[in-house]
Amino acid sequence: MAPTEIREISRSKASGGYVVKFEHDSPLSRCSMKFSVFVPPGYEKKNSKKYPILYWLSGLTCNEDNFMQKAGGKDKLAELGIVLVCPDTSPRGLGIEGEDDSWDLGTGAGFYVDATVEKWNGYNMYSYITQELWEVVNSNFNVDPSRAGIFGHSMGGHGAIVSGLRNPDKYKSVSAFAPIANPIDCPWGKKSLGAYLGTDNQEAWKVYDSTEVMKAYNGPSRTILVDQGTADNFLKEQLQTEKVAKVGNARVKVELRMQDGYDHSYFFISTFINDHLGFHAEKLKA
């Protein structure tokens, strides 16, 4: 099968490498999808060297640009020789009634699930990340898919943990910043899961819940690094981050670091991003 064509939109030099934005036609999403890539210094498509790769999943309202513009970490990525991919957070422009009515549902809020409610046809961000984008990246970039990791923030932290643990053959390392830890039991999660999956069978929600996925996990042993700010105004009602540290599955160790005084912003992420990159590099032997 021929590689999916990707079209370059922009390119900016950064930390000796490049941040490049692409788009491609996505059958799963029923639209064109954009993603940004950081390639480290010395990266050449024509060379045979294969680089380890990290996927970053952003949070509500974000797109493929937020991490690249705000999170820092590119000096560390350059030092480690890691390729980083940042996808968008939802399909865009599908013309679905209500998709632009609220910031926490629809556009910019795909929640990394595959919608089963017909109205949301095209909202397949779980399969987009773990299958379609995976193939697009592997066929168009010099990356080593046996050395791939995934991490994210908030909605993206939830997406990273769920995707990483449900696909341990693909993602060898997982970490998260302030993840939505138990979406079946918080307002953001109930709204999104109810809309995309329906409310008739809430048992089906569990495969997209980090806490529930951890409970059921029986794959290779994993250690997940989780950072959470103590001044995060979403911590108590929405994130409930401590729940992932209390699961008690011997196959999943959660290293939860409560960071005093930090909130939910990219100031928080940029402060600890290098720790996460080093964590992944060790797991991927970058």
Quickly list H helices, the chain.
66-70, 74-80, 125-127, 134-140, 155-166, 187-197, 210-216, 242-245, 266-284
Distance CA 75, CA 81 (A): 10
Distance CA 91, CA 124 (A): 8
Distance CA 176, CA 192 (A): 20
Query: Residues 29, 90, 232, 280: which is the catalytic one?
Result: 232
Query: Residues 24, 158, 264, 276: which is the catalytic one?
Result: 264
Query: Residues 58, 90, 154, 192: which is the catalytic one?
Result: 154
Report phi then psi at 244, rounded to 5: -70, -25
144 is catalytic: no
232 is catalytic: yes
- Sign of the torsion formed by the C-alpha atoms of 51, 277, 164 and 40: negative
β-bridge pairing 31-39 and 17-26: antiparallel
153 is catalytic: no
Q: In the block, which residue shows the tokens 């640009």? A: 65
As annotated, the active-site residues are: 154, 232, 264
